[in-house]
Amino acid sequence: MDRRTFLRRTVAGGAALGVASVTGMALAQGGVRITRHDLPPSHAPLLAPGRKLRIAQLTDIHVGWGTTAETLRTAQLQAKLVRPDLLVLTGDYLNHSLAEIDTLRAWLRGLPRPAIATLGNHDHWSGALEIRRLLEAEGIPVLSNSSTVLSVAGQDLRIVGVEDGFTHRDDVDAAFRGVPRPAEALVLSHDPKTADRIAQTGARIVLSGHTHGGQFDIPGLSAALATVAGLHYLKGWYMVGDTRLYVNCGIGSSVAAGRNGATASEMAVFDIG
């Protein structure tokens, strides 16, 4: 593993620029923050006049030894309590094997519906076919460089899912094929770096994960390490051209280390309208 890859995987951190209003934050038992965001109509999926929509995002679950059972239970409970119209899951459900797939199945069954998913790099390292089959068997469609239209809260919502860019499986052109108005879609992509190409389609909102917010928050050091590692999108909100990108810190951990400070486990809630 070269120096850049090592830094990207282990010690990157830093502050992100907020570009949408954060209306509240709570730290639940089990260490799961709830961050709340109001999306302006200019950078949100198109809704009918007078309609509202609440989307909750969970990512980087890493079911297994890197994520405590208490954290999993808390994330599950919080997802129910915020009562989303749609739950989006943006990858990394397991770590490096399928050993914990039964635990993942039980966790998925406790989440609210409707839900929709994309895969992450750890899913491909663990067994993407089996994980996809599990998600779909539990009623959670998986978007792999594709799009769909869901009926959510009485309205049609176009959702685009771009495959994981960290493992070079992303195909933005394929994902947006047949999408007549990308600016009206909600885009899901595990690796935030893919937003550079997604922005070229005219999409206005992308939800990502992957980075764990840098895992460790070390003031004065994390941001410098992130720059060296080439991590330009670490946590929170960014503008990528005319596209708003949100990088969720995620729930779990792929290493035997906890979270701290601004990198603590997170569920993000987005209110539109």
Q: pLDDT digit string (tens) for 53-107?
A: 999 999 999 998 888 899 999 999 999 999 999 999 999 999 889 999 999 999 9
Rounded Cα distance between 150 and 148, Å, is 6
pLDDT at position 229 over 90: no
Nearest of 41, 40, 35 to residue 22 by alpha carbon: 35
Interval 179-195 mean pLDDT: 96
Count of beta carbons in the 10 Å neighbourhood of residue 142: 21
For each of the domains in the chain, give its residue range(s) and CATH number, in order of start.
3-272 (3.60.21.10)
Count of beta carbons in the 10 Å neighbourhood of residue 149: 11
Q: What are phi and psi of 180, to 5 degrees?
A: -70, -30
Q: Give every strand in the sheet of 86-90, ordered side by side.
A: 21-27, 33-39, 266-272, 53-58, 86-90, 115-118
Interval 228-236 mean pLDDT: 79
Q: Tell me if 72 sits within 8 A of 61, measured CB to CB.
A: yes
Q: Would you give the DSSP letter of residue 117?
A: E
CA–CA–CA angle 243, 245, 247 (5° rounding): 175
DSSP 3-state percent helix, strand, coil across the chain (nearest 5): 30, 25, 45
Rounded Cα distance between 13 and 29, Å, is 24
Rounded Cα distance between 237 and 244, Å, is 7
pLDDT at position 266 over 80: yes
CA–CA–CA angle 73, 213, 89 (5° rounding): 50
pTM beyond 0.95: the answer is no
In sequence order, the 6+-apart residues with CB closer than 8 A to the CB of 150 are 86, 114, 116, 156, 157, 159
Rounded Cα distance between 70 and 252, Å, is 11
pLDDT at position 49 over 80: no
Q: Tell me if 34 sits within 8 A of 271, measured CB to CB.
A: no
b/e burial code for range 208-218 (CB count within 10 A of at least 16 → b)? bbbbbbbbbbb
